[in-house]
A = this chain, B = another copy of it.
């Protein structure tokens, strides 16, 4: 049953009844995404909350000079969505792309709202999930205003050890807000220190 990873994820927060699981099962869809395939592009409306079962997605924005900047990565058991575009049903500025062959579970807006109404504990679960994500982002903001690029890189590695080896350094540099050349220098220095 393809909803299983999602149900397991929800049950790390609160237990669910069989009927509730069935309701969820009816309202989600499963999708495979190829490496480099996009789930969302700038100016499109974000129609889904996306849960990563396997693989890695990146969300990125494009600046005034056309350069891409990685806002975040989502790997196994993480949610990803352009939240403001999703709720407002308005075009957003985010892009979502697979960096590996990826499998996701998606919920559309009307289905998510239906589930919120019929399974109120989902309000609580998504409140908690969003709070957790908020704390992560807040730590990242603090880092970005208080730390050097090397410190930020080490923090990234400690926080997402698997991504450090799964992702090309260009993607990591984009996430850290530095050039791949400078990341290369940082890595060289770190190896030298050891």
A-side residues, CB < 8 A to B, are 61, 63, 67, 69-72, 83-84, 87, 116, 120, 123-124, 126-127, 130-131, 133-135, 137-138, 140-142, 144-147, 174-177
Contacts and interface: CB of A to CB of B under 8 A. Distances in A.
B137 A138 contact: yes
Contact of A134 (B83, B116, B175): B83
Contact of A177 (B63, B134, B146): B146
A151 to B, nearest CB: 8
Oligomeric state, in copies = 2
Given A123-B127, A130-B130, 12 more contacts: A61-B142, A69-B146, A71-B142, A72-B141, A84-B135, A120-B120, A124-B127, A127-B127, A127-B130, A130-B134, A140-B141, A144-B144
A172 to B, nearest CB: 12
B130 A69 contact: no
22 contacts: A61-B146, A69-B142, A69-B146, A70-B145, A71-B138, A71-B141, A71-B142, A72-B141, A84-B135, A116-B124, A120-B123, A126-B127, A130-B134, A133-B134, A134-B137, A137-B138, A140-B141, A141-B141, A144-B144, A144-B145, A144-B177, A145-B174
